[in-house]
Chains A and B, each alone.
Chain A
Amino acid sequence: MNNTNSMFARATPLLFGVLFVIGLVAPFAMYPTFLMKILCFGLFACAFNLLLGFVGLLSFGHAAFLGSAGYICGMLVRDLGVTPEVGVIGGTLAAGALGWVFGVLAIRRTGIYFAMITLALSQMVYFFVLQWKATGGEDGLQGVPRGHLFGIIDLSNNIAMYYFVFAVFCIGFAIIYRAIHSPFGQILKAIRENEPRAVSLGYDVAKFKLLAFVLSASLAGLAGATKTLVFQLASLTDVHWHMSGEVVLMTLLGGLGTILGPLVGAATIVSLQTELADSVGSWVTVIMGVIFVVCVLLFRRGIVGELQALIQRAGIR
């Protein structure tokens, strides 16, 4: 076991290095908008995984953070004319604040109730966005300009936009990686494994859960705000509960509690949706449902989890 663990530890920087280089050259090989979509949803899923994979809290309301940050960022940039980085920061902070409200309420109950409360709260956000005039209701927030980063770099250029999104993703990912591999992350895992024990060791479990929730919500917001700039649009689908389900699916498919799983899951789901949208139309929902069922019944470790198990078994032999 120790051998394989140290093997992972040695391989990890190399793997991240390779992925980073791939990320740098990717826009010259593939359609940048598609890649940006993957990175945004990848960050969204990583943020979600921080909560489900490492604290064991299933939030069924993460669309509220993605969507509200998107709307706030869009309004800041379009209606107040701030630069894109300020819009993204504003959206992220708003999502973090909303995450604090959700967290304070939902943490009062555990397990299955936690999921239902977050779902109900996010539905409330959905109705709010639907009825508030400034959000454009059914039409969404259209025509958000990408603007000039720091007032200098023109983001309407797709390649420039890509590197901005890539940088945002790397920052978000680094924060998550750091959080997981810190004493804070260890305590979160302890809470996941045995909550009463963590309490008896003297940890203020509610405080740690809330902190993890706010962090996860903020990073989901970071993804949502960036996504609004990419597509120049914030729409109702971003706050709908379908989106909350989608991020669960991405994380589950990629591998719950693995560091790269959510990114792999997001890439798979986004590619599938792009491929399938033309050929099967409304069957996309059915296919998503089938993947859900298959993952839960047969494939609970997810793609990355299965790969890790495979490598581990090979290492032991």
Chain B
Amino acid sequence: MEIFGVPSALLGSQLLVGLINGSFYAILSLGLAIIFGLLNIINFAHGAQYMMGAFVAWIALTKFGVNYWVALLLSPIIIGALGVVIERTMLRKLYKLDHLYGLLLTFGLALIFEGLFRDQYGISGQSYPVPELLQGGINLGFMFLPIYRGWVVVAALTVCFGTWFVIEKTKLGAYLRAGTENPQIVQALGINVPLLITFTYGFGVALAAFAGVLAAPVYQVNPLMGANLIIVVFAVVVIGGMGSIMGSILTGLGLGLIEGLTRVFYPEASAVVVFVIMVIVLLVRPAGLFGKA
């Protein structure tokens, strides 16, 4: 079976890879958007925290024999706790200053994390085995679907929409949205905004670590795995705008799919297609697809 002269199995598998990348873009840009909403900083360390999430899972497995499912829970908690410490000890001091200092501080942190892991583990990737329960695949007729890859998409989307639900439909989410709009008033109403901020940063970071664990069996676990990804995610954020949670999710998924399609029809451009789309969006709709002008 062929579609536009391309075998459907190739098209299907590249679209699946695109969907997986898109899920990671969605989780990461979601985390960036939540953090930016309340803290007004861009978390440059997001890529490094994603990488550390993957490494914690890999170290837990190889050194302590902790299995994938425990790591999927444990790693976000550990990295999220680290995020809480960072927020309490460093980021907190910067809220009154220009937003750029937050970017610079987290950039410095990213360099430290990546440097430490590179010194310890080199730049060659470590492989993480696919958990037993999710090995093998299903033949869908037009393509072969590895079960783990399907699981990544389902898990990522569940977390994304769960986050969306919490923020848009629950009381906690209402506090969060109110804090984004006007922290002084929310504080005056008796809500502990500093605690809310700490929790938000920890949660955003935990999301990155969760994506890291999901990514570990698909890609090699490598100290630089987050560095290049985060730049693409920045472009995703510019395209989507950080104003809307659902916007971040949809933009992330959509761009992943477009990237997958590009890999089929014009592979040379697949590394830059997201940037090209960013340029087009900036020319046509400078505020971003879901941004408020």
Interface residues on B, range: 35 or more
Q: Is residue B10 within 8 Å, beta carbon to beta carbon, of the partner chain?
A: no
Instruction: Give bound CA distance, A62 to B140, whole Å.
Output: 48
Q: Is residue B258 within 8 Å, beta carbon to beta carbon, of the partner chain?
A: no
B-contacting 9-mer, from A5-13, A122-130, A197-205: A122-130
Chain A contacts of B2 at CB under 8 A? none
Which B residues contact A (CB, under 8 angstroms)?
A: 36, 41-42, 90, 93-94, 97-101, 103-105, 107-116, 118-119, 227-228, 231-232, 234-235, 237-238, 268, 271-272, 275-276, 278-279, 282-283, 286-287
**B42 to chain A: closest CB distance in Å?**
5
**Residue pair B103, A115 in contact (C-beta under 8 Å):** yes
Chain B contacts of A296 at CB under 8 A? 94, 101, 104-105, 108
Contact of B231 among A108, A241, A286, A295 (CB under 8 A): A241
Q: Is residue A283 within 8 Å, beta carbon to beta carbon, of the partner chain?
A: yes
**A51 to chain B: closest CB distance in Å?**
12
Chain A contacts of B93 at CB under 8 A? 297
Q: Is residue A25 within 8 Å, beta carbon to beta carbon, of the partner chain?
A: no
**Residue pair B282, A105 in contact (C-beta under 8 Å):** yes
Chain B contacts of A300 at CB under 8 A? 97, 101
Contact of A292 among B111, B228, B287 (CB under 8 A): B111
The residue in chain B whose Cβ has the minimal distance to the Cβ of A115 is B103
Instruction: Give bound CA distance, A285 to B279, whole Å.
Output: 31
Instruction: Kindly supply a per-residue 1/0 record for chain A positions 79-122, scoring 1 wherever the CB is within 8 Å of any chain B CB and 0 otherwise.
Output: 00000000000000000000000000100110111011101110
**Residue pair B103, A112 in contact (C-beta under 8 Å):** yes
Q: List 6 A-B contacts (CB under 8 A).
A: A120-B278, A241-B227, A284-B115, A286-B115, A293-B105, A295-B108
**B93 to chain A: closest CB distance in Å?**
6
Chain B contacts of A119 at CB under 8 A? 231, 234
**Residue pair B103, A123 in contact (C-beta under 8 Å):** no
Contact of A289 among B115, B227, B235, B272 (CB under 8 A): B115
**A102 to chain B: closest CB distance in Å?**
10
**Residue pair B104, A248 in contact (C-beta under 8 Å):** yes
Q: Which of A111, A245, A291, A292 is packed against the most chain B CB atoms within 10 Å?
A: A292
**A138 to chain B: closest CB distance in Å?**
14
Tell me how many residues of A have a C-beta within 8 Å of chain B. 40
Chain B contacts of A134 at CB under 8 A? none
**Residue pair B286, A282 in contact (C-beta under 8 Å):** no
Chain B contacts of A127 at CB under 8 A? 271-272
**Residue pair A286, B119 in contact (C-beta under 8 Å):** yes
8 Å CB contacts to B: which residues of A34-75? 56, 58
**Residue pair A120, B234 in contact (C-beta under 8 Å):** yes
Chain A contacts of B275 at CB under 8 A? 120-121, 123-124
Q: Is residue A311 within 8 Å, beta carbon to beta carbon, of the partner chain?
A: no
Chain B contacts of A153 at CB under 8 A? none
Q: A58-B100, A113-B238, A241-B231 are in contact. Are A285 and B107 (CB under 8 A)?
A: no
Chain B contacts of A248 at CB under 8 A? 104, 107
**Residue pair A293, B234 in contact (C-beta under 8 Å):** no
Q: Is residue A290 within 8 Å, beta carbon to beta carbon, of the partner chain?
A: yes
